[in-house]
Amino acid sequence: MSTTAFLTDATLCIGCKACEVACKEWNDVPADGFQWSGLSYDNTEALGASTWRHVMFLEQPVVAGPQIAETNTPFRWTFLSDVCKHCANSGCLEGCPTGSIVRTELGGIYVQPDVCNGCGYCVVSCPFGVIDKRPTDGRAFKCTFCYDRQKVGLKPACATACPTTSIQFGLLSELAPRAEARVVELKERGYTDAQVYNPTGTTVGGINAISVILGEPENYNLPPAPEVPTAYLKSAWTSALISATVLFGAICAAFALQ
């Protein structure tokens, strides 16, 4: 538990998108189109090959809980900066056939762009829908956890640019208890639906980018109980091997009967 991690706090996010901009500029990520989504102030919509931080703008009914700030909008406005989860058991890493995707010594999941051959298997192996193939390039891309910056002792670009400490960077062993304490504090202040998002109870086995959220994980398109697909390889291979054996038996029988 000494790996580095993000703690992204939805109750501290002001939706400024500094993290999106900082990430794009530092990592030289290409533009990925400009269109109005009509979904609150979110015109980014989802993480992708060229979007490694994504600020969500949730418009929830006021009955969900008190407003974060004193506003008179007829809904509760909540923001969260989403990012690659850098899973403890990572679907993309396990699925990668080239060894391009590795876990760094700092605990992050890193795609080596000089190795990736664009097979696309990581795309369907990620239970969080994070990594994607960049059509203009052919290879798969996602958040690097600013491996280059961390190597020289700097915080990731998004955490550095965040003006409100909504994106906190540090050791997972320190951030996980901090998140729990923050939820206790929020509940005392009346935000009864505050919770930590960190799926430790499934085969994912926890993540290195935990969040404090208001409402349900689903509201943030965070799967409530994600699983690593590769944990279920055994049932599929067992079926394949038994079927193949039966098939060979049937083929032999066909020729024996002839």
Footprint of other proteins on residues 68-127 (CB under 8 A)?
Answer: 71-75, 91, 94-100, 115-121, 123-127
φ, ψ for residue 116 (rounded to 5)? -55, 135
Identify the residue among 20, 22, 29, 48 touching other proteins (CB under 8 A).
Answer: 48
Identify the residue among 139, 149, 155, 182 touching other proteins (CB under 8 A).
Answer: 139
43 binds other proteins (CB under 8 A): no
Decide if 8 contacts 220 (C-beta within 8 A): no
Which residues on neighbouring strands pair with residue 83, listed in sequence order? 53
| Span interacting with other proteins, options 154-162, 177-185, 186-194, 245-253, rule CB under 8 A | 245-253
The two counts, helices (H) then strands (E), for the chain are 7, 10
| Residue with Cβ nearer other proteins (21 or 46) | 46
The three-state secondary structure class of 35 is coil
**Pairing mode, if any, of strands 4-9 and 209-214?**
parallel
| Smallest separation, CB 76 to other proteins (Å) | 9
The three-state secondary structure class of 24 is helix
Locate tokens 């605990």: which residue? 107
132 binds other proteins (CB under 8 A): yes
**In whole angstroms, what is the distance from residue 83 CA to residue 158 CA?**
10
| Residue with Cβ nearer other proteins (161 or 199) | 199
| Span interacting with other proteins, options 3-11, 28-36, 66-74, 154-162, rule CB under 8 A | 66-74
| Smallest separation, CB 134 to other proteins (Å) | 8
223 binds other proteins (CB under 8 A): yes
Taking CB under 8 A as the criterion, which residues in 166-185 touch other proteins?
A: none
131 binds other proteins (CB under 8 A): yes
Distance of CA 220 to the CA centre of its chain: 11
| Residue with Cβ nearer other proteins (108 or 226) | 226
| Span interacting with other proteins, options 3-11, 150-158, 164-172, 233-241, rule CB under 8 A | 233-241
| Residue with Cβ nearer other proteins (85 or 149) | 85
Closest CA to 88 of 7, 201, 195, 196: 201
The three-state secondary structure class of 8 is strand
Please calculate the CA angle 96-100-106 and round it to the nearest 5 degrees.
105
| Residue with Cβ nearer other proteins (45 or 180) | 45
